[in-house]
Amino acid sequence: MKTTIYWAPADMDLHHDWSILYKDPTILGSDLKKRMSKDLEKKSNIFYCPAVKNLSSRIAVLKSPMNCHYKIKDGEFKPISKNFLNVTFPHMINFKNNMMFQLSSSYVFFCEEDVQMTLTSPYFSNSPHLKYGSLIPGTFNVSKWFRNINMEFNLWDNIDEFKLKKDEDIAYVQFDSEHEIRLKRFDFTERLHRITKTCSKAGIWEKFIPLVDRYKRFKEAKFKKIILKEIKQNIID
């Protein structure tokens, strides 16, 4: 038995379909199996430990779509690589001598079951970008709230550049489910986009409200039924 997690690229552009840049997320446990020593006995393999196996089978891995290199000077990002993702600055700098920025790469996840989702840096991957900074983490219930997750980074002290390598792990998305997860992609329709915008802008139309109160509004608006119906009518795989 597996828990189905619905997902989609969350870019909405009237003139382009940027889903071409999004590879399917992988499952961490499957990624790690490819790296395991074939000579290791099962009883000596830490990844057969139930605690480790349970966790790694519930983490989706998001990867970089291309090589990107930026130089930073006087608070400005200048791309110096031939190809790159756009960068925005949705938040003010929170720490002294640390830059904060967001890549134009966004995902949305939803689940019919009661599941908490947590976004973190890829802590079990030797990703080159980690020497420059860390993904800003976050958590919410993906059966009670429907908003996109963004690749927003906080750089370490006095960093003056940022690099991403194509296909390197840039984020882990953990789902606190009783079962292993199965990922199903759907088409991110205009109607679903409007709902994610409503949820992601909740801090504007109702400031400093705990998530539990936002979940209540979400439930009262019957958003879960609306979202699941729209998703299931637009399944890609």
Residue 181's nearest CA partner among 113, 125, 234 is 113
Query: Considering the domain boundaries, does residue 237 fall inside one?
Result: no
Cβ neighbours of residue 16 closer than 8 Å, sequence gap 6 or more: none
Q: Are 53 and 29 in contact (CB under 8 A)?
A: yes
Instruction: Assess if residue 109 is contained within a domain.
Output: yes
CB 181 within 8 A of CB 27: yes
More confident residue, 46 or 146: 146
Q: Are 33 and 1 in contact (CB under 8 A)?
A: no
Amino acid 187: pLDDT: 95
In whole angstroms, give the CA distance from residue 136 to residue 134.
6
pTM for the model stands at: 0.92
Residue 206 belongs to some domain of the structure: yes
79 lies in some domain: yes
Q: pLDDT value at position 34?
A: 84
Give the model confidence (pLDDT) of 143-188 as tens digits.
Answer: 999 999 999 999 999 899 999 999 999 999 999 999 999 999 999 9
User: What is the structure's pLDDT at 40?
Assistant: 72
156 part of a folded domain: yes
How far, in Å, are 3, 86, 237 from residue 25 at the CA level? 15, 21, 13
**What integer pLDDT is reported at residue 92 of this predicted model?**
77
Q: Average of pLDDT values for 191-214? A: 93
- Averaged pLDDT of the chain: 92
Indicate whether 71 belongs to any domain: yes
pLDDT bin (cut points 50, 70, 90) of residue 68 is very high
* Structural domains of the chain, count: 1
Q: Give the pLDDT confidence of 4-41 residue by residue, as tens digits.
A: 999 999 986 667 788 888 999 999 999 988 887 777 77
What does the pLDDT read at residue 151? 94
Q: For position 88, what pLDDT does the model report?
A: 85
Residue 38, domain member (yes or no) = yes
Residue 205 has pLDDT above 90, yes or no: no
Question: For residue 14, what pLDDT is reported?
Answer: 61
Q: Calculate the dihedral angle through the C-alpha atoms of 198, 204, 205, 209, rounding to the nearest 10 degrees.
A: 100
Per residue in 70-115, pLDDT (tens digit) is 999 887 889 999 999 888 887 877 788 888 999 989 999 999 999 9
| Domain span holding position 42 | 2-232
Decide if 66 is inside a domain.
yes
Under 8 Å between Cβ of 66 and 18: no
